Structure formats: structure tokens, C-alpha cells
């Protein structure tokens, strides 16, 4: 089982940022409103993710580190319409097989927090407010070959920050802080209710810069509900027209049902809407939030869940194309 976990780890954990992403996913699934990430040496020495979510009951702590231990999926039907970020129940087990893990958690309604050491399996009571802290030390300590593939601390840190940034753009209702070597690197304060427009605008300004908000337009589109076979697809967010100097390839953020994804269909649709606006090699800047019937999108394509498969990819393409088209055609607002 340890070996299987290590193989799974190879697919899930490429670098510290992969761990950060999984731990922040878990914190969000637990309903956290504040998430603090602490790193040492770009995350290689230590990744600690602290949340104020619902916590883990003491008898469920050891189970959390076991493979296919997920509290989130009860049936195959649930897998069809995954509402949580995690569902495979293998991230913590995988991470625990390639690093020195500890979980500190206090479940709501419990008087104590408990600390579980992944290496020894030892469980002891400690003091902590309701919520969870997961600590991952010495990533890849047992697989030096993989550790060698890591880049400099600064590069690994940048990837970790990027992982949190992707979450932050999806969740303006949650506060995020990132510390590296005891210094505050980024802080994005909670902006308001999950689906509030002002909150999203504030978060976009905080994360992508106020110039992004100034140089972008709202996207707000819903495909018309026609028949059963063509479910409604909504696309909202902001699309920016960057000047040449700010153009960067990594400023495209796309979310499907709250999950950050990289998808050819969406990228192509957005790109084609931009064709007449962007000349030369400039890259569009956008944050697009697509919501659709969860049974029409498969998120269980890859362990990292960054790829999705749409059942109606032509409809998705058309919705994104039209959404961005009409936003860019409208006067600046």
C-alpha cells in the first residue's frame, strides 16, 4: 500500500506547489474562511497550511492519511456531480508517503485538538482553536532523485504562490496569507460573500492588480436554456485587453464550477474571441468563471484534477466565445 501511495504521489506531487494546492483544496472543502500557508526553503523543508474549517474528529485523524480515505464521496452517483475540490481520497496518503507529515486538528464541538504524527502514527492531545493545520516536512526526503529535479527555492516559492493565487481568485470570500521564511509574502483579505460582484472585483484587483480591473470589462453571459440536451452554461468574470508591456502567458485564469482548470476548448474559444482585439503576440488577460451542470463535466480525468472533460465541448466553446465576444464589443465599464 505504501508503494501504491508512492506511485500515486508521483502523479499528484511534482513539486511543493502541488502539495500546497492539495492542502488548500482540503481547507476550502472544510469550509475555512482564513487559510495561512507557511513555507521554508520554497516549501521543500516545510509546507504548513492552517485553516479555521470544521476540523477532523480524533478517531478520523489516522484514517485521513490512508489511501482512498475520503469523507466526501459516498457513492458512484456522488462522483458524477463532485461538489468538493477533493474526492479521490489519495492526496494526504500520497504526500505522507514521500514526506514527513503531521496533522493538528480540532473538530467543531470538541474540547481538544489532536496531533497526529504521520511517521509514528502517534496521536496526542494539544491546544488549538477549531480547524486544521497540516505540516509537510522534507518533501521527497526518501526519493533524492526526485528532489534533484526541484528548482531554486525562489522558483519553487513562486509556484507555491501561484497555486494559492489560483484558489484566491476563485474564493474572494476566503482570506489567504502566505509566509516564507517568516516573512509575509502575500496577503489577500476576505472580500465578502461568495457570489458578490464587488467582492470578486476587489479580489481581482488585489491579486491581479488594480490596473487589470481598470483595463478589463465584465463578462456576464448565460447560454439560453433550449432543450434537455443543451443545459445552461454561464460564463462570468473579467476580460482584459492588456498593453504590450503587461502581456504575459500566465495571466489566463479559468474556473469550471469553482475549480481552476487548464482546458484547450476554453482557451481556444477565448483566444478566438480576442482575435480582432489583440494584434501580434500579445496574450489576453482574463479570469473566467464557468458554471454548468456538474454531471456534464468530468473532473476525474487526471489525479491533479486540473484537466476536465466536457460532455458538450461545442456548447462550452460557443458559450465562452460568445461571452468574451460580447464583453469585448461592449463599451468599457
Closest CA to 200 of 288, 267, 85: 288
| Pick 72 or 309: Cβ nearer ligand ADP | 72
Closest CA to 112 of 126, 92, 100: 126
Site for ligand ADP contains 72 (CB under 6 A): yes
CB of 255 to ligand ADP, least distance (A): 18
Site for ligand ADP contains 51 (CB under 6 A): yes
Measured CA to CA, the distance from residue 135 to residue 43 in angstroms comes to 11
Measured CA to CA, the distance from residue 300 to residue 305 in angstroms comes to 6
| Pick 99 or 324: Cβ nearer ligand ADP | 99
| Pick 51 or 135: Cβ nearer ligand ADP | 51
| Pick 93 or 323: Cβ nearer ligand ADP | 93
Site for ligand ADP contains 88 (CB under 6 A): yes
Out of 16, 42, 43, 86, the only residue in the binding site for ligand ADP (CB under 6 A) is 86
Q: Which three cell numbers stand for residue 69?
A: 480515505
Cβ contact 213:205 at 8 Å: yes
**Which residue carries 520554497 as its cell?**
42
Residues at the interface with Mg ion (CB under 5 A): 25-26, 86, 91
Applying CB under 6 A, the site for ligand ADP has a residue count of: 23
Measure Cα distances from 23 to 7, 115, 269 in Å. 19, 17, 31
Beta strands in 223-284 (DSSP E): 233-240, 252-256, 259-260
Stretch that binds ligand ADP, among 91-99, 147-155, 222-230, 270-278 (CB under 6 A): 91-99
Measured CA to CA, the distance from residue 281 to residue 299 in angstroms comes to 31
Site for ligand ADP contains 64 (CB under 6 A): yes
Q: Residue 52's binding partner, choosing from ligand ADP, Mg ion, none, with beta-carbon cut-off 5 to 8 A by kind?
A: none
| Pick 47 or 266: Cβ nearer ligand ADP | 47
> Degrees (nearest 5) of the Cα angle 82, 2, 69?
30
Out of 92, 101, 191, 204, the only residue in the binding site for ligand ADP (CB under 6 A) is 92
Give residues in contact with ligand ADP (CB under 6 A). Answer: 22, 26-27, 30, 51, 53-56, 64, 69-72, 86-93, 132
Amino acid at each position: 500500500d505504501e508503494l501504491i501511495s508512492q506511485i500515486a504521489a508521483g502523479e499528484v506531487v511534482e513539486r511543493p506547489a502541488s502539495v500546497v494546492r492539495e492542502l488548500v483544496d482540503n481547507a476550502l472543502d472544510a469550509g475555512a474562511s482564513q487559510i495561512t500557508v507557511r513555507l521554508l526553503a520554497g516549501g521543500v523543508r516545510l509546507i504548513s497550511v492552517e485553516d479555521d474549517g470544521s476540523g477532523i474528529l480524533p478517531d478520523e485523524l489516522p484514517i485521513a492519511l490512508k489511501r482512498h480515505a475520503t469523507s466526501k464521496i459516498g457513492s458512484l452517483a456522488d462522483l458524477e456531480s463532485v461538489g468538493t475540490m477533493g474526492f479521490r481520497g489519495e492526496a494526504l496518503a500520497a504526500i505522507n508517503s514521500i514526506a514527513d507529515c503531521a496533522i493538528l486538528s480540532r473538530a467543531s464541538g470538541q474540547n481538544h485538538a489532536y496531533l497526529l504524527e504521520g511517521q509514528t502514527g502517534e496521536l496526542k492531545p494539544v491546544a488549538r482553536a477549531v480547524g486544521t493545520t497540516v505540516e509537510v516536512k522534507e518533501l521527497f526526503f526518501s526519493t533524492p532523485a526526485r528532489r534533484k529535479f526541484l528548482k531554486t527555492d525562489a522558483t519553487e516559492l513562486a509556484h507555491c504562490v501561484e497555486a494559492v493565487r489560483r484558489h484566491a481568485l476563485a474564493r474572494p470570500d476566503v482570506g489567504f496569507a502566505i509566509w516564507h521564511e517568516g516573512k509575509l509574502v502575500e496577503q489577500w483579505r476576505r472580500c465578502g460573500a461568495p457570489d458578490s460582484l464587488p467582492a470578486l472585483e476587489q479580489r481581482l484587483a488585489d491579486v491581479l492588480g488594480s490596473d487589470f480591473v481598470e483595463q478589463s470589462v465584465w463578462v456576464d453571459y448565460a447560454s439560453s436554456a433550449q432543450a434537455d440536451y443543451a443545459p445552461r452554461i454561464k460564463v462570468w468574470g473579467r476580460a482584459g485587453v492588456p498593453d504590450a508591456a503587461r502581456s504575459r502567458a500566465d495571466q489566463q485564469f479559468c474556473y469550471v464550477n469553482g475549480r481552476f482548470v487548464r482546458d484547450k476548448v476554453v482557451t481556444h474559444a477565448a483566444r478566438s474571441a480576442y482575435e480582432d482585439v489583440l494584434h501580434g503576440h500579445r496574450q489576453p488577460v482574463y479570469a473566467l468563471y464557468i458554471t454548468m451542470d456538474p454531471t456534464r463535466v468530468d473532473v476525474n480525468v487526471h489525479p491533479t484534477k486540473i484537466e476536465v472533460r466536457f460532455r458538450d465541448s461545442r456548447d462550452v466553446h460557443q458559450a465562452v466565445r460568445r461571452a468574451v465576444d460580447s464583453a469585448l464589443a461592449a463599451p468599457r465599464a
